[in-house]
Amino acid sequence: MTDTATAPATSTTKPKRAATHFDANPARAGWVTKIILSLLCILWMVPILGTFVTSLRTLDDVKNSGWWHAFTPSGIRALTLDNYQNALSGKGMGEAFINSLAITLPATFIPILIAAIAAYAFTFMEFWGRDVLFLTIVSLLVVPNYVAFIPINKLYGSVGLSGTFPAVWLAHIGFGMSLAIYILRNYMATLPKTVIESAKIDGASHFQTFYRLVLPMSVPALASFAIFQFLWVWNDLLVALVFLGPGDKEPVTVNLTHFKTQLGQGWELTTAGGFLTMIIPIVVFLSLQRFFVRGLTAGAVKG
């Protein structure tokens, strides 16, 4: 009888990561996370709360004491909604809301349409210089918008667009196009290629593939950029001042700057008007928030 040597079995198990203090105490890790998030929420909410309280105080109270004094018994009794009524009845506020919508809606939907078509081409079409062109467009994200104000304004003056809504539309479309193409292209790159290839085999054109397949599947990314662009255009002051200026076509952001000179008042009206202008952006965000995170993170990691 002969002894046979048995080779030791080779273990394929990967070495385990050394357990950390939080691995042994998952409940404690959860509490630490909640505490940090709570502190961040407080840091964000305190300025908003102070602004809201200021909008409910009288001019004398705003001048003589900080907003936190509004939580005293006498401060609570002095709170009023008159500031909101005065802000709404201020000169041109109603027209300014309509002007803001007239500026924001086209400046949001037009770049989405153009960027979606461009992102489809960068993702599913082969053409010479595709990657170089995409990198060039993305590199424009680091260029400050204000460096283009003077040449664009001169161009508008030469073609008669100065002080018109199309001037502001084109400016916002150009400034937002790079980010739109970047977000949509990264999202479309995560879509299943088999679906697109099956459509090509079935004889679908690029337009049919884009309109019937890619566009419906890209709704989260479209909604994410729509939120970004809508909030940016609605809250914009600089572009509106440069290319539109004060007057009959001014948006709410420009109209708010007139409160001190027109009504002889101070921060109590400005803050009230500011909160009134927040209503529409909040409605837009809450309506599209279920797509927001999914649209931003879908193209972040590819594996």
One-character DSSP codes across 73-114: HHHHHT--SHHHHHHHTSTTHHHHHHHHHHHHHHHHHHHHHH
Q: Is residue 269 over pLDDT 50?
A: yes
Burial of 85 (0-12, 13-18, 19+ CB in 10 A): exposed
Residue 68 and residue 76: Cα distance in Å, rounded?
Answer: 10
On whether the pTM is more than 0.85, the answer is no
Average pLDDT over residues 224-231: 89
Most confident range (mean pLDDT) of 100-114, 232-246, 262-276 is: 100-114
More confident residue, 287 or 170: 170
Domains and CATH numbers, the chain: 25-80 (no CATH), 87-297 (1.10.3720.10)
Question: Please, which pLDDT band fits residue 298 given cuts at 50, 70 and 90?
Answer: low
Q: What is the mean pLDDT of the chain?
A: 82
Average pLDDT over residues 117-124: 92
What contacts 241, CB < 8 A, 6 or more positions away? 254
Task: Check if the beta carbon of residue 254 is closer than 8 Å to that of residue 164.
Answer: no
Average pLDDT over residues 154-175: 90
Q: Is residue 133 over pLDDT 90?
A: yes
Phi-psi region of 192 (alpha: psi -120 to 50; beta: other; left: phi over 0): beta
Q: Is residue 303 over pLDDT 50?
A: no
